[in-house]
Chains A and B, each alone.
Chain A
């Protein structure tokens, strides 16, 4: 089933400038998709369009086969969770626990259950020691973890991360990556859409969409995108560490067809030596 289907979508904030230019793609339920692209390429705009925060009359967006329109936007939005770029401007309540609870309150969740849910997700993002802290006493990365917890707690079918880990340190990113892995394992139907500048993060996804100036310059599944590193480089991206090594070794004549991660690569190299 298609979780998100976008057809010929076009959007502009003002007449002179097209932010999204005739974009089409499909995202299958349960997949993990990355959107990469330089600053101003329209990634955040696309995320807002999908969540119905802004709407376009050119093109079509379908969420689980239902066309998004003015009337059903509130209903469809309940299936999508989105973590935005700026952690300060999505911290709505005045303490960590209240902020994680904000979305639950909107869903009219029983207050008796709320405390446990809040604690559970605060623990997942390692913020359970800060429950009564105010945003002004938190670092950017900590605020971002709170935003992530607030969205994950809603248990949505589609989760969009708009550079949600950009403020985190490498360890923090690793934590969130593992958390996503774990969530996807426990719920194989969870669809992840991750907007990122981190090519290593994009490397973990099943499908990659590359945006530039509002247009899709390339899209394809993991292998299609990462088997041609020169093209990736020519589009202005760095290349993932593992893919780079693998490619260089292959160019030297090593057969590494079924090697998919660093451990397997090391094992293989040890065998060969």
Chain B
């Protein structure tokens, strides 16, 4: 259950906290694109990724993200890492002109490329995770949904229910902790009646889970009925005009941060597309590392 705390809003007042949510979403997407720009030399791709990693770690520190939940999140992906390593190391891509690392029985070869590729993909995953973590830790869920709604606004022309969707997201976010609490309570109640959630064979486990899921669903439906009553009673009508308590504001610092980050992203995209065979180590130090 604790893994849910990954990405929870951290109540702190940092520079990043104060940026407009819409700007943060824009920059997040730009940075994600940047992270995914590849270079044909492994050393360059890896060096860029490491650079991003260092920068993102600093940003995480500045915005007081929880490193503990970040590392927990990474650890919980160990299976994925294992899978990646097996995928790329033991099923080498034959099209790569690559340096062999080890040959079994003179018939099956492992290449360095597989290792680079696995490392690169894993690093990118970590980068994506830290990016999203920075966004969600520094932005109130409500501001995030308002920002999403703002971006979806043009879709209203084709009758896309952007407001309803934003409302759904914000209610879902609001009720996740409540329903988790409820799940814990039901588990305790069922445990006291002799249901064992941690041991037993598959059949027993499934039975235990069912004893959790059914009451949880019953209460969730009950809740949703009461919630819709409460919303209606307070005059909620998705089709009528509503004013906004919370206003998203685009400040000067948003402009400045966008003006700094977007050109960097553009430059890296340029490097990746136009100078794809760039070997950063050779360019800077005139040393041939050979990968």
Please report A residues at the B interface, Cβ cutoff 8 Å.
Answer: 48, 51, 53, 74, 77-78, 80-82, 84, 86, 88-95, 97-98, 101-111, 114-115, 118, 132, 134-136, 147, 150-151, 154
Contact = CB atoms under 8 A, between A and B. Distances in A.
A51 B233 contact: yes
16 contacts: A53-B229, A77-B233, A82-B233, A88-B223, A89-B223, A89-B227, A91-B174, A94-B140, A94-B142, A105-B242, A105-B244, A105-B245, A108-B241, A108-B242, A111-B243, A154-B234
A91 to B, nearest CB: 7
Contact of A94 (B170, B181, B244): B170
A121 to B, nearest CB: 13
Contact of A97 (B170, B223, B241, B245): B245
Given A53-B232, A93-B142, A102-B236, A118 B245 contact: yes
B141 interface: yes
B221 to A, nearest CB: 11
B2 interface: no
Given A105-B245, A118-B245, A150-B234, 18 more contacts: A48-B229, A53-B233, A77-B235, A81-B234, A84-B233, A88-B178, A92-B231, A92-B236, A93-B174, A94-B140, A97-B245, A103-B235, A104-B243, A104-B245, A106-B234, A106-B235, A111-B245, A151-B234
Nearest to B223: A89
How big is chain B's contact interface, by range?
20 to 34
Contacts, number: 100
B171 interface: yes
Interface of B: 11, 140-142, 170-171, 173-174, 177-178, 181, 223, 226-227, 229-237, 240-247
Nearest to A73: B232
A86 B226 CA distance: 8
Given A93-B174, A106-B236, A114-B243, A98 B142 contact: yes
B232 A135 contact: no
Contacts of A151: 234
